[in-house]
Amino acid sequence: MASSQYNARIDSNLCRHLVENMDTAVLLFDSNLKLVAINPAGENLLQASTRKLIGKSYKLIFPQNRECHDILTTILKENRTITEREIRLQLITGQIITIDFSATPVSGVEQVSEIIVEITHVDRLLRLAREDHLQEQYEATRKILRGIAHEVKNPLGGLRGAAQLLDMELEDETQKEYTRVIIKEADRLSGLVDAMAGPNTPLDLQSINIHACLEHVRTLINAEYPELVSIRTHYDPSLPEILGDQDALTQVILNISQNAVHAMLDAPAASSGEPNCLCFSTRPAGRFTIGNVLHRTVLQLDIEDNGPGIPEDLQATVFYPLITGKPEGTGLGLSIVQNIVNQHHGLVEFTSVKGKTVFSIFLPFAN
Ligand SMILES: Nc1ncnc2c1ncn2[C@@H]1O[C@H](COP(=O)(O)OP(=O)(O)O)[C@@H](O)[C@H]1O
Ligand SMILES: [Mg+2]
């Protein structure tokens, strides 16, 4: 009968395949509350390898977490499923995350034989929602800026042309100075609206090694600020290539690095006598969602400085054009960064406290 095929038990290989590819962390504890199995999402969430975790007691897996401990011991006594939302969980690494925790007993002959724990990382979901929102805001702003750029540039072209004609008519050099101011300012304004609206030219996408871009920027910064800043690098040379525009990505790394260098040099006192240090690092990041796409691995590129940090009142809007904390700043650097990273279907974010600012760029691999 056809239906019996559907009633059959799920094949154990299929089961394993499903659990291994789930986005939810799944852990299996025995009746002594020692860990007997964990899926890759679980390792990822707990930031430890299976080898380190298997056989460990629940107290070590969830250190200093009474809520998780109570749930597991209660299940042993009461043999029922318990779900608790928005628990703060401290990881073995010390990092604190927010999770939804659901534990289900597997009944043996007389008592609970095993407990299946499912953990959802809520911070991550909140972050994804926030990113969606930011992306929408960003696209709306970009549309407005393109509109303004268009409206400003047309009359500006007329203005510039008229000033040029006038310049040719004039004989008096002192009067020509005025027309040249008009031409120069019209060009500046035109460049500014172009930069605000972001590049309109399509990217030149090639299979590239991100380390070439990083090394280029390292040379530029070293040449511009010899002895003022030291640059450390932690590259993973085994990373595959990405599909990117080498010049545009070099611009991204340069804009972020220049901001870091300016911040460090402007406030040397903040680094409490430590030498100004910029650090470039690359690594693979597992199971990462950008936009609506879940990637198995992406490239993570971190640019870290030990400067004073991004002023708190700027942090929410720092990627917007014209937002600057410097008297002479244009506020375009990070807006261009975000624009280029978006064009690469990547993501850029930062964390910043006094003494440690990290810009992280996530880019999909070429294949
Ligand atoms: N690494 C950093 N450390 C401290 N502040 C930063 C850093 N990166 C960016 N900022 C702040 O963000 C602002 C915006 O940067 P950006 O968009 O490049 O414009 P600009 O550099 O012209 O001001 C900077 O003016 C600065 O206040
Ligand atoms: Mg800048």
Which residue has better confidence, 172 or 22?
A: 172
Look at residue 6 and tell me whether its pLDDT is greater than 60: no
- pLDDT at res. 149: 84
Residues 229 and 140 in one domain: no
Quick one: pLDDT band at residue 129, thresholds 50, 70, 90? low
Q: Span 104-117, mean pLDDT?
A: 88
- pLDDT at res. 3: 45
What residue owns the CA closest to ligand 1's atom 1?
Answer: 260
pLDDT digits (tens, 9 = 90+) for 297-356: 899 999 999 999 999 999 888 988 888 998 888 888 998 898 899 889 998 989 899 999
Range of the domain at 46: 2-123
Look at residue 33 and tell me whether its pLDDT is greater than 90: yes
Residues 156 and 251 in one domain: no
**Which ligand 1 atom is at minimum distance from the Cα of 333?**
18
Look at residue 100 and tell me whether its pLDDT is greater than 50: yes
Residues 272 and 286 in one domain: yes
Q: How remote is the CA of residue 271 from the centroid of ligand 2, in Å? A: 20
Q: Which ligand is nearest to the CA of 321?
A: 1
Lowest mean pLDDT among 12-26, 199-213, 326-340: 12-26
Q: Which ligand is nearest to the CA of 326?
A: 1
Residues 180 and 254 in one domain: no
Task: Provide the CATH number for the domain around residue 343.
Answer: 3.30.565.10
Residues 347 and 247 in one domain: yes
Q: How many domains, the chain?
A: 3
Quick one: pLDDT band at residue 109, thresholds 50, 70, 90? confident
Look at residue 169 and tell me whether its pLDDT is greater than 60: yes
Considering 80, 108, 123, which residue would you say is the last residue of a domain?
123
Look at residue 213 and tell me whether its pLDDT is greater than 50: yes
Residues 167 and 64 in one domain: no
Bridge partners, 357 (sequence order): 305, 352
Q: Which ligand is nearest to the CA of 337?
A: 1
Output the ligand 1 site: residues, CB below 6 A: 255, 259-260, 263, 305, 307, 309-311, 314, 318, 323-326, 329-335, 357
Q: Give the CA diameter of the chain.
A: 106
What residue owns the CA closest to ligand 1's atom 9?
Answer: 259
Which amino acid, residue 52? K
CA dihedral (41, 42, 45, 51) in degrees, to 10, reads -110
Cβ pair 334, 319 in contact under 8 A: yes
Considering 84, 102, 123, which residue would you say is the last residue of a domain?
123
Residues 245 and 270 in one domain: yes
Going by their DSSP bridges, the two strands 277-290 and 230-234 should be labelled as parallel
Q: Span 184-202, mean pLDDT?
A: 81
**Which ligand 1 atom is at minimum distance from the Cα of 305?**
1
Q: Span 102-110, mean pLDDT?
A: 86
Considering 145, 166, 197, which residue would you say is the last residue of a domain?
197
Residues 167 and 264 in one domain: no
Q: Which ligand is nearest to the CA of 350?
A: 1
pLDDT digits (tens, 9 = 90+) for 215-252: 999 999 999 988 889 999 999 999 999 999 999 999 99
Q: How remote is the CA of residue 310 from the centroid of ligand 1, in Å? A: 7
Q: How remote is the CA of residue 318 from the centroid of ligand 1, in Å? A: 7
Mean pLDDT of the chain: 87
Residues 259 and 347 in one domain: yes
**Which ligand 1 atom is at minimum distance from the Cα of 307?**
3
pTM for the model: 0.66
Q: How remote is the CA of residue 227 from the centroid of ligand 2, in Å? A: 21
**Which ligand 1 atom is at minimum distance from the Cα of 332?**
17
Residues 165 and 251 in one domain: no
